[in-house]
Amino acid sequence: MKLEDSGIYPFIKDYPKCKILYRFGKGECITNSIARNEDYWYVIEGQIEVVATSHNGRRIHVDDNVEDEWTGHLSKYWGQNLYCDCIAVTPCACIRIPNPIFNNLIKDKDFRLFFYFKMSSRLYDMYRRRLSYDLFTPRQRFAAHLILDAEDNDCYMENVSKTCDELGISRRNLYNIISDFEALKIISYEQTGLVSIRDREQLRNIAQPALEFNENRD
């Protein structure tokens, strides 16, 4: 999208510093977990993954930031530091809002409503995803992932580790599920990461509870 079409533009149009586009290549870090007093970032193009790393090196998927959404160390607004890295999943373009400008903007009622709405929507989506880990089995979550992501019955897992992080499934468990689905002739899997759905009806039956939960947004 163009900066002028973004939801934040009416608030920052009079601040030249906030209209500079910073571009990041796939895999580049926008903000890292140890950054201090980092400015606020807003995504104009692309997708950013927010990840945390445990003491034993385990990588934990926290959130996805897409265009027209905030990114960066947003927890600092509430006086916290969740020690997360923000990494570009695709080529990205972001604007940077320096702390002094943000502190001035947040005094405006309309900007506060804009900021809080964006943040509350994101937090609710994160809560739903975490809740789904307890409500549904790994089989149901993976089946729903295939149904939702497939195009013409093909789903490409470019990064198995990322898929595991997003679904809250261990790598070993994921491969066991894939083998099970292959044995049942529900899918076929290639080492390139291509998953082809062979029996969509059977796959949907497995995924149905998770799909209904995902679609229930009224």
pLDDT at 37: 66
The rounded distance, in Å, linking the Cα atoms of 39 and 121 is 21
What residues does each domain of the chain span? 3-133, 136-215
Please tell me whether residue 129 adopts helix, strand or coil conformation: helix
The rounded distance, in Å, linking the Cα atoms of 97 and 158 is 32
pLDDT for 11-60, tens place per residue? 999 999 999 999 999 999 999 887 766 799 999 999 999 988 877 777 78
CA dihedral 136, 138, 139, 141 (to 10 degrees): 60
What is the reported pTM?
0.74
CATH number for the region 3-133 comes to 2.60.120.10
Q: Which CATH number fits domain 136-215: 1.10.10.10, 3.40.1800.10, 3.40.630.10, 1.20.59.10?
A: 1.10.10.10
pLDDT for 133-155, tens place per residue? 899 999 999 999 999 999 999 99
